């Protein structure tokens, strides 16, 4: 009897998990791409590996934290939709400091500084960094120390030169 109950419980659990996957109750992953043109940084947020993704994205808000070193960070820019129900969807392409149409800055952004890394939310595990040679890199937290030491990581990262 005990084995039957355990099998039933496991079967029910697996059925619920499978049903959740079918209806899209998976955690949403965010991708970040970044490019630089003169003094402007263009960000792209996507739930797919292509950016911008067809149909756009609907983040609850966008925030950027500046990392001055491995331990210290500060909120430097925050923007959110004026009305979540009518204007939350955006293409995913964002210029640092410029709120998307129908959005408002909650925190006015300071200029970007070379040698600093910037964490972008909702893609919280991704950052972009401005190197003082004029290049831009997209990195994750395991590569943050390499960035601050001005070293290329052994497994590389995406590096873009100023256009």
Backbone angles phi, psi at 145, to 5 degrees: -65, -40
- 103 bridge partner residues: 81
25-33, long-range: CB < 8 A, 24+ apart: 30/59, 30/122, 30/123, 30/124, 30/126, 31/123, 31/126, 32/120, 32/123, 32/126, 32/128, 32/138, 33/138
Q: Edge-to-edge strand order for the sheet containing 93-95?
A: 31-37, 40-46, 93-95
Q: Is 43's pLDDT higher than 90?
A: yes
147: confidence class by pLDDT, cuts 50, 70, 90: very high
Which residue bears the tokens 């998976």?
26
Task: Find all residues with CB under 8 Å of 159, minimum gap 6, and list them.
Answer: 131, 135, 136, 137
What pLDDT is recorded for position 155? 78
**Mean pLDDT score, 13-21:** 40
What pLDDT is recorded for position 58? 87
Q: Is 19's pLDDT higher than 50?
A: no
Q: Is 132's pLDDT higher than 60?
A: yes
8: confidence class by pLDDT, cuts 50, 70, 90: very low
What pLDDT is recorded for position 66? 95
**Mean pLDDT score, 16-45:** 71
| Residues of the chain above pLDDT 90, percent | 42
What pLDDT is recorded for position 27? 56
What pLDDT is recorded for position 86? 63
Task: Find all residues with CB under 8 Å of 3, minimum gap 6, and list them.
Answer: none
pLDDT digits (tens, 9 = 90+) for 55-99: 889 888 999 999 998 888 999 999 999 887 766 788 999 999 999
* pLDDT, the chain, mean: 80
What pLDDT is recorded for position 87? 61
Pairwise CA distance, residues 112 & 120, whole Å: 13
- Let me know: does 137 contact 152? Beta carbons within 8 Å: no
């Amino acid at each position: 009897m005990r084995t039957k109950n355990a099998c039933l419980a496991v079967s029910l659990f697996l059925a619920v998990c499978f049903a959740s996957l079918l209806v899209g109750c998976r955690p949403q992953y965010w991708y970040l791409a970044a490019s630089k043109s003169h003094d402007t940084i263009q960000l792209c947020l996507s739930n797919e590996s292509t950016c911008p993704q067809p149909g756009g994205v609907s983040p609850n808000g966008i925030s950027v934290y500046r990392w001055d070193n491995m331990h210290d960070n500060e909120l430097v820019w925050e923007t959110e939709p004026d009305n979540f129900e009518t204007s939350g969807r955006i293409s995913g392409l964002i210029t640092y400091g410029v709120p998307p149409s129908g959005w408002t800055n909650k925190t006015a952004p300071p200029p970007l500084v070379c040698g600093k890394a910037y964490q972008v939310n909702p893609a919280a595990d991704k950052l972009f960094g401005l190197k003082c040679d004029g290049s831009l890199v997209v990195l994750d937290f395991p590569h943050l120390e390499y960035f601050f030491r001005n070293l290329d990581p052994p497994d590389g990262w995406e590096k873009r030169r100023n256009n």
